[in-house]
Homo-oligomer: A and B are copies of this chain.
Amino acid sequence: ANIAILPGDGIGPEVIAAAVDVLADVARRHGHEFAFAEHAIGGIAIDTHGEPLPAATLAACKAADAVLLGAVGGPKWSDPKAPVRPEQGLLALRAGLGVYANLRPVSVHPRLAGLSPLKNEKLAGVDVLFVRELTGGAYFGAKTRSADTATDETRYTVAEIERVARRAFELARGRRRHVTSVDKANVMETSRLWRETITRIASDYPDVQLEHQLVDSMAMLLLTRPASYDVVVTENLFGDILTDEAAALAGSLGLLPSASLGEGRVGLYEPIHGSAPDIAGQGLANPLGAILSAALLLRHSLHLDAEAAAVEAAVESALASGELTRDLGGKAGTSDLAGSVRAALA
């Protein structure tokens, strides 16, 4: 299998190196052949190629079986008036690959409950899979700017909502058969279309229970009864906000992975943390978000379920008994924690 590697900016290269090591271990151990090829994206691509998503990077990603990405952005490129920004590379890649369904699982490891801002009794049983629409909404709508006015258009078509809805219902069938759809149907027209469409699609999945919540209520409910949610499906911007909120429950963003899938073969895998410029280059970053993203890559793009489960079990064992990185309350570095995972995998 051909895996495109996009380290990106900040801690991206460090955590991706750790994840590639793990994938190479998996290949050796299970007799697979994985070819890794690195490509530029984000701020570094602006510096080297003058654009945040060079055409060669997009072409290579489209031709690959899967894409593993670190993080993009940093203070060097964050002037809001800059003509191009690192994030545009990421958005263009998501759109270019057509990966409209962003899966973000959130659960809380018992050893890390102390790091969560939430009380322990709230955390018991938290196991949510967010399915965030990733290629529509305000992210990709028309924008205008004049001297005294700016606009952003949020746009959704029925087809865009249907496909992400189906993905959510399918995923719920492999879990607790419950879908919570989040919108702002009391205010937004796109949300009314969203709610109608999800409700219609739900009739094809009579074995899955559907619940609607308004985004403001959901921001509250994620704190007051987080364990009651199974699959949560929502549009791009609401998903951006709610998944970061939910991630805080896990005690650290550092260990949360994501998978972005479309109809095509190729999926995009990235930890949900950012480029963390404050600790970049120091060997301190938590590699688990990237390693767990690699596990999702094994499962969703390469269909190597046993190998994916083995990586997840190795992370679990490193979390249970290994030395942890600073974000997890320990003193270990990136390579120590990655080393525990690789040892557990061997």
Binding site for B on A (CB under 8 A): 73, 78, 80-81, 85, 87, 91, 116-119, 122, 138-139, 141, 143-145, 147-159, 184-190, 192-193, 195-196, 215-217, 219-220, 222-224, 237-238, 240-245, 247-249, 253
Contact = CB atoms under 8 A, between A and B. Distances in A.
Given A145-B189, A156-B150, A158-B149, A245 B224 contact: no
A87 to B, nearest CB: 5
A80 B216 contact: no
Contacts of A152: 153-154, 188-190
A236 to B, nearest CB: 9
A264 to B, nearest CB: 22
Contacts of A117: 118-119, 122, 223-224
Contacts of A185: 80
Contact of A145 (B139, B193, B215): B193
A151 B141 contact: yes
Contact of A149 (B78, B157, B237): B157
A137 to B, nearest CB: 10
Given A151-B190, A154-B151, A195 B80 contact: yes
Nearest to A87: B186
Contacts of A186: 73, 78, 85, 87
Nearest to A91: B187
A138 to B, nearest CB: 6
A196 B82 CA distance: 13
Contacts of A159: 148
Contacts of A217: 244
A87 B172 CA distance: 32
A42 to B, nearest CB: 12
Given A91-B187, A147-B158, A149-B155, 15 more contacts: A73-B186, A78-B186, A80-B192, A81-B196, A85-B186, A87-B187, A117-B119, A117-B223, A143-B188, A145-B193, A151-B153, A151-B189, A152-B188, A153-B154, A216-B243
Nearest to A144: B189
A148 B329 CA distance: 50
29 contacts: A73-B186, A81-B192, A87-B187, A91-B187, A117-B119, A117-B122, A118-B223, A145-B192, A145-B193, A147-B158, A148-B157, A149-B155, A149-B158, A149-B193, A150-B155, A150-B192, A151-B153, A151-B154, A151-B155, A152-B154, A154-B154, A184-B237, A219-B244, A222-B245, A223-B248, A223-B249, A224-B248, A238-B241, A241-B241
Contacts of A85: 186
Contacts of A143: 188-189
Contacts of A91: 187
Contacts of A116: 119
Nearest to A252: B224
A149 B158 CA distance: 6
A217 B243 CA distance: 10
A85 B248 CA distance: 35
